[in-house]
Amino acid sequence: MGGPHKPAMKLAGWPLLDHVLLAVSGAFERVVVGSPRISHGSPQIRKEDTPQSRPGAGKAAAMDRISQESVVVLAADLPFIGPGLDQLRTELGAGRNDAAVLVDTTGRLNFLASVWRTSSLRAALARTGNLAGIPVRALYEGMTTAKIPDFDGHGADCDIPEDLRTARLRITKHHAGLLPASPLAWPRLDLHSPG
């Protein structure tokens, strides 16, 4: 749905990407891999060596900007991800896992709703080599990964038009008449809370 333009598709008046950027507004560094665009909080924009390649290549393009011990890796189409981030960070910090990833109620791992130890992600990227045609799940091979049940749908993405319609209904149901005209007017946690 939308290809390279999907992050700019509107949900509740904002681009999908801005919902995600708002969820990580407290991050030390925010890096968006893709085409330059005006985005919430003015994140750094990086380009992939091979534009529109698989998401693993996008991770590689951003890593030279990451200096913290852990890194959140998110797709641009996760408008409800905010509350799920605390679970992921807590699980990563509690054990010796390389990464923590959300798992939906069908058992599908959302590889682009995850938190990694930065050193582990660098090692996975180095081991995998050229990432242009490699699926992102290949980065997880051989890594110790905590799988976090996502009963509340924090990792629900908007891959097809029906997903976007469902997300609109979800927001209307929980925040009817409360959505702001500007992302700057909305408190971080309220927008992403499903309950």
Q: Hey, what domains does the chain have and what are their CATH numbers?
A: 3-176 (3.90.550.10)
The mean per-residue pLDDT over the stretch 6-21 comes to: 86
Helix segments in the chain, DSSP class H: 16-23, 55-62, 82-94, 118-128, 161-175, 188-192
Beta-bridge partner residues of 33: 46
pLDDT of 8 higher than 60: yes
Six token digits for residue 130: 């050229």
Report the pLDDT value the prediction gives residue 160, as an integer from 0 to 100: 87
The Cα–Cα gap between 92 and 151 comes to 19
Report the pLDDT value the prediction gives residue 2, as an integer from 0 to 100: 55
- Amino acid (one-letter) located at 69: E
pLDDT above 70 covers what percent of the chain?
A: 73
Tens digits of per-residue pLDDT, 128-161? 877 667 788 999 999 999 999 999 999 999 988 8
Which pTM value belongs to this model? 0.78
For helices 16-23 and 82-94, the axis angle rounded to 10 degrees is 40
- Are 193 and 83 in contact by the 8 Å Cβ rule? The answer is yes
Report the pLDDT value the prediction gives residue 70, as an integer from 0 to 100: 93
pLDDT of 107 higher than 90: yes
Q: How confident is the model at residue 191 (pLDDT cuts 50, 70, 90)?
A: very low
Say which range, 52-56, 74-78, 84-88, 188-192, has the weakest mean pLDDT. Answer: 188-192
